[in-house]
Chains A and B, each alone.
Chain A
Amino acid sequence: MDTITRRQFLKATGAGALGAAAMSLSIEEIANAAITRPLPLGTPILVVVTLYGGNDGLNTVVPVNDPIYQSLRPGIAYKPEDVLPLGENLYLNGSMSGMHSLWNKNQVAIVRGVGYPNSDRSHFSSMAIWQSAIIGAAKTGWLGRWVESQPEDPFLAISLGSILPPLLAGSKRSGSVLPLGGLKVPNGSLASDCIKLAIESRSDNLLQAMAAKTMRNLFTVSADITPILRSPAPAAPDLPTAIGGNAGGDTNLSQQLDIVAKLVAAGAPTRVWSVSLGGFDTHADEKGSQAILLGVVSQGISKFMSQMRATNRAKDVVVLVYSEFGRRVRGNASDGTDHGTSGPVFLLGERVKGGFYGEQPSLNNLKDDDLAVTTDFRDIYASVLEKVLSTPAEKILGNWRGRTPLFN
């Protein structure tokens, strides 16, 4: 395609006027701006846990005594002795003992049958809907829009990992990204040279301005975070030594949550954290692999909550766990399940009013073999925005009326 480079087209159209340089920044100026202003105690903090792939809700919150459940899922159904009682004839996956003990302390809300009208069974469309809270084409995430509703601050919302999730994407400003190893920025003259590239130029288009901004945030965020990352994670003193599941060995999710725990404990002025775990697309051989993943989720979150109790932020932290859809009620021939509709959403923390919300979709009343949607996920988001992020839901979700009274 040598004959049609962008450059030749752009030269022909004369794009790219010279703009005046914006203000000049130094590392010291940027670094001073951050941890000198820790998040005030009592400010709620949201930790969003995204389960990619479509978690099988029926094998997470299990109607183990329902004969229809048993008959539709040969090879995948749990037996009553494998699962942990929740009440209302529902049971938690046996690998989730950590979250089960938090449930018994009334610190877990389980919203049942969560989804949206006309469920989209595409991973990508459905995840886009959940992350944008917009049904139809969307360019921003619900928490990205929240970032844009707040004063500019690269610490405000941080995702762990190397790629920005759509969740935190805004139209002009987005959340920041923190890779697991932490940020290692250049120093010396290379640093001062790179910082010159971080100045926005009037001739920048939207994406170029964002490229400059990420360079600037790299230096802002890293200067403050790096010393904290070197410190040990908060202890989890009240955690039982054996908590079931696949004990031992770090998982990626627990590494992510460990970093969040350190930074929350250090007082980072961050209101929203995003972490994730993949692998829930269990079309084949589901039972063992889903149990391992749910064990990782439960263990990671219960350890995190315990770490929070060792700091003074336990009352401030709310964890939200969701996936893009639940799975088909009937198992397939590969001992797996295909894409379905609704699933449970978990909220955890001392601010949360523990217990069940929403109706459990009935297995007697399937629509096209799938579970009914009994709660719209935007009800949950609206309540989280208002009660955790102290932001009118209308600003982010438009005129959305529904709420789920999840918080004390």
Chain B
Amino acid sequence: MTWFWHGHWATSYQKVDDALPMYLQNQSLRRNALGNFAQMSREMVNDAALIFWLDGQTNTVKAPNENLSRELMELFTLGVNRYSEDDVKETAKALTGYKVDKSSGQVNYYPKQHFTGSIKVLGTQGSFDASSLSDFLVARNDSALFITERIWYRFISSMNPLTDTSLTASFASRDIAALVKAIGKHSALDNPENSMVKSPIDWFISASRALSITPSKFSNPNNIRNYLNLLGQLPFFPPNVGGWPADQAWLSTSSAQYRIQFATQLVKEADLSPISSLAPKARIDGLADWLGVVEWSSRTKMALTGAINDPARLALLALCSPEYVVSA
């Protein structure tokens, strides 16, 4: 779930350009990954990396910068079009006066640069700072709906959006674990149409687990970084504040190419004994179990059959097969 939240509060080292704030943000996301969303959101609106990433440090009472206020509502708490343009302008005022000290990773509050008057947000008049604004937004029904939609989008289907809004009930107290549990038990998981393309990270991590590879012990760790970059998904470098794309975006001639190359490297480092210890005849079914594939198509069976005596080639082909690349 930390990975999910990294894509949600997507902050890139590209602009932050300092490891400490990125590390502190990651610690916060780890702490709260299955905790309470109100707490997580409060920590994020006071998070140095996020504030710097969205120009919050230059947001002053004189001329508010709307970058953070817009994304806070659009991408982090409510979802697009669940607020007005006036709400963006008003909430920007509540987020004035926070300055980032990147070297310490801390955020300092400058009362003189903070707008102290009353603002009207989503029909409610009041005086807000970053934390109370976060609490106010997270408490709204739209926030429960939005977070449910996002978890659905990443774990159930990006193509078939959430329709069963009753799931939001499990998020009434903003308990992330309860929501994940409810989504995990949802009948939509029975529907084979709800398949998902493994993103490069999903693919790499699941392959590493199956192949007993410890990424930090990889013979050339730069290779991992290089291939994840070529595949378009380097952790701590999301392409923009909306996080990484899904599904079809990961299916291109380019990703097919780099997946083959990356898989070639991975199988060299792999423990292939679960496959090589099987009799050749049993290897194709064994691979399906090993990699968590329900059933090979006749196409992939044919491709695998040709490599039945070569466990490394078998593993490589299986990792690049449509059945593995797409989690059915």
Contact = CB atoms under 8 A, between A and B. Distances in A.
B195 A283 contact: no
A178 B313 contact: no
A339 B255 CA distance: 33
B278 interface: no
A338 B66 contact: yes
Interface stretch (A92-100, A189-197, A293-301): A189-197
A118 B284 CA distance: 56
Contacts of B250: 163
A211 B325 contact: yes
Interface string A179-190: 100011110001
Given A10-B192, A193-B307, A5 B62 contact: no
A197 B245 contact: no
A152 interface: no
B240 A123 contact: yes
Interface string B217-258: 000000000000011100000011110010111111111111
Interface in A186-232: 186, 190, 193-194, 196-197, 199-212, 214-215, 217-218, 221-222
Contact of A193 (B54, B193, B306): B306
Interface stretch (B100-108, B129-137, B290-298): B290-298
A15 B192 contact: yes
Nearest to A203: B297
B75 to A, nearest CB: 8
Which of A9, A186, A207, A332: most chain B Cβ within 10 A? Answer: A207
**Dominant secondary structure at the A interface:** loop
B247 to A, nearest CB: 6
A284 interface: yes
Interface in A160-189: 161-164, 169, 174, 176-179, 183-186
Interface stretch (A18-26, A266-274, A396-404): A18-26
Interface in A65-87: none
Interface string A113-129: 00000001111110000
Contact of A163 (B81, B190, B245, B321): B245
Given A208-B195, A332-B64, A163 B249 contact: yes
A333 B63 contact: yes
Contact of B260 (A7, A22, A194): A194
Contacts of A42: none
A281 B55 CA distance: 11
Contacts of A250: none
Interface string A346-373: 0000000000000000000000100000
A41 interface: no
A19 B297 CA distance: 7
A284 B300 contact: no
B328 A21 contact: no
Interface in B53-88: 54-55, 58-60, 62-67, 70, 74-75, 80-81, 85, 88
Q: How big is chain A's contact interface, by range?
A: 35 or more
Contacts of A332: 58, 63-66
Nearest to B183: A4
Given A163-B232, A212-B322, A339-B66, A193 B257 contact: no
B302 interface: yes
Contact of A207 (B54, B251, B302): B251
A283 B63 contact: no
Contacts of A139: 159
A278 B240 CA distance: 10
B189 interface: yes
A234 interface: no
Interface in B275-328: 292-295, 297-300, 302-303, 306-307, 313, 316-317, 320-323, 325-328
Interface string A9-39: 1111101101111100000000000000000
A284 B64 CA distance: 11
A18 B190 contact: no
Q: Which residue, B161, B190, B192, B196, has most C-beta atoms of chain A within 10 A?
A: B192
Contacts of A202: 297
A177 B328 contact: no
Contacts of A197: 299-300, 303, 317, 320-322
B60 A333 contact: yes
A63 interface: no
A1 interface: yes
Nearest to B67: A283
A393 to B, nearest CB: 25
Given A211-B197, A284-B65, A178 B298 contact: no
Given A125-B80, A163-B245, 17 more contacts: A4-B185, A7-B294, A15-B294, A19-B297, A124-B74, A162-B258, A176-B253, A178-B254, A183-B257, A190-B260, A196-B306, A207-B326, A208-B328, A211-B251, A211-B326, A214-B251, A218-B256
- Going nearest first, the 7 A-B pairs with the smallest beta carbon separation are A333-B63, A334-B58, A177-B252, A196-B303, A201-B297, A15-B192, A211-B322
20 contacts: A1-B184, A4-B185, A6-B328, A161-B254, A163-B250, A164-B248, A169-B248, A179-B257, A186-B260, A190-B260, A197-B321, A201-B297, A201-B322, A205-B193, A205-B328, A214-B253, A283-B54, A283-B55, A333-B59, A333-B65
